[in-house]
Each structure stands twice: as structure tokens, then as C-alpha cells.
């Protein structure tokens, strides 16, 4: 085989090997195996320092790890190279926003202008960018008026959301009303979101509103309705939790928690020891001390350092 052909084949082989490393890293990222993905992406970046997608992935991994300084560095470089990419501006502004939440208020003030600029640029570049508009709703409603906060501006972006996604529009309006202490308006918008979208998230927003406004009965009924539409095991835990916390409908709470335990999987999010804890609370509420102790001890056998369970056990013993 002559030398030019050999060199060409060698080049193809090296290129394919590098591409395979990138694809393997991407597969780990999609599977949420971020540490494995990070190592492979960093190796790939050493040989391809200008590869934008790799740097974006590394910025995303840093964001998941709440390493905001690293994320900001990656996204800032991407924005400087491509000022027309809405996602880059959104991620850059978002990472600065998250960093601002973790530092002193005085230092955070220096980030406000940059955050606003980047998020608004993302929204301008992409008329259908839902995440950027949600971030702007939260930014303007949470920021004090004296330094640029504005419910009027938050509502403007919520209205833009409504044109892109009606359910997001109702959720954003509900969020603004809830944050501004207008629970009746928030309730209306969350109910509208359920009517339009009907996702688990829409029901959760309404039930959470009822909890925060001291209406646990309505919260339970909302989740019950959601459970009829969406057979999600995690909803059974939520019903049991509210029943336990507010001393409501003990029979319903017990039934839901027992079914939650029977059907439990990692995807449910809440470990079984918390369900045992809630059962103990319910039995304590109805005066069944021995049964309550059995469940709290079961929780502690699963997790001996369960602080809340230790404290609850002392309360039960005092009955």
C-alpha cells in the first residue's frame, strides 16, 4: 500500500475514534451519567478545543453540579463566538442568575444588568423560546422594584408565553399572582392551566397553592383528581403526606401510603422510609401509639440516621 493511501486511512481511523469518544460522552450525558460524560468530553476537548457542542455540554454538566463559575466561563465563550444563538444567551444569563442567588446581595447587584441583557437577548433571538421567557417572568417578579423589578414586565413575558404555549401562559400568570399575594387570581390561572393542559405539573401547582394558603382539604382533593387522570405512584405519597401533616382523612392517607410502598420504584423520587414515617404520623394522629411505633421503627431500621424519624419517635413515646 502506498504512503498517501496509508496516511489517508490512518487519518480516517483517528477521526472515527475521536467521533466515537464524543458519541460515547454524549450517551453518558443523555443517561445522566455526568461524571463519566465529563471525563470523556474533557478528553475530546483537548484535541478539539474549538468544538462548540462539547463546551456547551461541559457547561451543562457544570450547571447540574451547581458549579456556576465554570458554567459561566463555558457559556460566555460560546456567546462571544456566536452572538446569534438563543440557547447560549439563555444558559449564560441563567447561570449568572443562579450564581447571584448564592452570593451576597451587594455582589449580586453587579450581575443584574448582565442577566437581564442575556435573557432578553435569548427571547429576542428566538420568538418561541419558552425557557427564556419563564426565566424573565421569575427575574422581574422576584427582583425588588428599586433595582429593576417589575410585575408589569413579568406579565408582558407571561403574555408572550401564552401565545407560544397557553398552558405555560396560565402557569406564569398564576406564578405572578401567587408571588404577589393574590391567591384567588393564582387559583383561577392554575385551574385554567389544568383545563388547557392537564399535566401532573398543573395539578401540583394548584395543590401547592392550597397548601401554602392553609387549604389542605382542597390540596388533597386536587391530587386525588390528578391521580384519577394520571396513575402516578408518587401522587399517592403526596396524598399521604398531606393527610399526615394536617391530620386529615386518615383512612385515605393510610391506603395511599400502603399502595405507594407496594408499588414503589426509584423513579417515584421519595424513598420508602419517608412513607413509613408518614404512616407513623397518621397512626399517631389517631391515637394508635403501638402501630405508630412499629412504622417509625421501620423507618429507622431502613435509615438509622433519619433525624426527623428520631424526633417523631420521641413525640410518639410521649403519647
Residue ranges covered by each domain of the chain = 8-126
Tell me what the mean pLDDT of segment 18-27 comes to.
79
Task: Write 193-196 long-range contacts (CB < 8 A, 24+).
Answer: 193/167, 196/166, 196/167, 196/170
pLDDT tens readout for residues 198-233: 999 999 999 999 999 999 999 999 999 999 999 999
Predicted TM-score (pTM) of this structure: 0.84
| Contact between 193 and 176 (Cβ < 8 Å) | no
Does residue 9 carry a pLDDT above 50?
no
pLDDT value of residue 106: 87
Tell me what the mean pLDDT of segment 69-81 comes to.
97
Distances (CA, A) of 274 to 86, 107, 117, 212, 290: 41, 39, 43, 21, 18
Q: Does domain 8-126 correspond to CATH entry 1.20.272.10?
A: no
Tell me what the mean pLDDT of segment 136-152 comes to.
85
Confidence class for position 24, pLDDT limits 50, 70, 90: confident
Q: Is the dihedral of CA 249, 251, 256, 257 positive or negative?
A: positive
Q: What is the per-residue DSSP string for 231-285?
A: --HHHHHHHHHHHHHHT--HHHHHHHHHHHHHT--GGGSS-HHHHHHHHHHHHHH
Does residue 8 carry a pLDDT above 70?
no
Phi, psi (deg, nearest 5) at residue 126: -125, 105
Does residue 11 carry a pLDDT above 70?
no
Confidence class for position 293, pLDDT limits 50, 70, 90: very high
Amino acid at each position: 500500500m502506498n504512503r498517501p493511501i496509508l496516511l489517508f486511512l490512518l487519518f480516517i481511523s483517528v477521526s472515527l475514534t475521536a467521533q466515537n469518544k464524543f458519541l460515547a460522552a454524549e450517551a453518558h450525558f443523555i443517561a445522566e451519567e455526568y461524571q463519566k460524560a465529563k471525563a470523556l468530553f474533557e478528553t475530546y476537548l483537548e484535541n478539539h478545543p474549538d468544538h462548540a457542542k462539547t463546551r456547551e455540554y461541559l457547561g451543562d454538566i457544570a450547571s447540574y453540579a451547581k458549579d456556576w463559575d465554570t458554567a459561566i466561563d463555558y457559556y460566555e465563550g460560546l456567546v462571544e463566538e456566536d452572538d446569534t444563538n438563543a440557547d447560549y444567551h439563555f444558559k449564560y444569563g441563567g447561570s449568572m442568575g443562579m450564581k447571584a442567588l448564592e452570593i451576597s446581595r451587594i455582589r449580586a447587584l453587579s450581575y443584574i444588568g448582565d442577566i437581564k441583557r442575556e435573557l432578553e437577548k435569548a427571547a429576542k433571538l428566538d420568538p418561541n423560546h419558552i425557557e427564556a421567557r419563564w426565566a424573565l417572568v421569575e427575574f422581574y417578579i422576584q427582583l425588588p422594584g428599586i433595582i429593576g423589578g417589575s410585575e408589569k414586565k413579568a406579565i408582558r413575558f407571561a403574555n408572550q408565553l401564552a401565545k407560544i404555549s397557553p398552558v405555560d401562559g396560565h402557569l406564569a400568570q398564576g406564578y405572578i399572582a401567587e408571588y404577589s399575594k393574590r391567591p384567588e387570581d393564582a387559583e383561577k390561572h392554575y385551574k385554567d392551566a389544568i383545563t388547557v393542559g392537564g399535566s401532573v405539573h398543573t395539578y401540583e401547582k394548584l395543590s401547592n397553592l392550597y397548601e401554602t394558603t392553609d387549604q389542605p382539604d382542597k390540596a388533597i382533593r386536587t391530587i386525588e383528581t390528578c391521580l384519577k387522570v394520571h396513575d402516578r405512584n408518587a401522587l399517592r405519597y403526596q396524598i399521604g403526606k398531606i393527610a399526615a401533616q394536617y391530620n386529615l382523612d386518615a383512612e385515605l392517607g393510610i391506603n395511599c401510603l400502603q399502595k405507594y410502598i407496594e408499588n414503589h420504584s426509584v423513579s417515584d423520587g421519595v424513598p420508602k422510609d419517608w412513607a413509613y414515617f408518614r404512616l407513623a404520623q397518621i397512626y399517631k394522629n389517631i391515637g394508635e401509639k403501638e402501630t405508630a411505633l412499629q412504622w417509625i421503627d421501620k423507618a429507622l431500621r431502613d435509615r438509622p440516621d433519619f433525624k426527623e424519624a428520631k424526633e417523631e419517635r420521641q413525640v410518639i413515646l410521649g403519647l
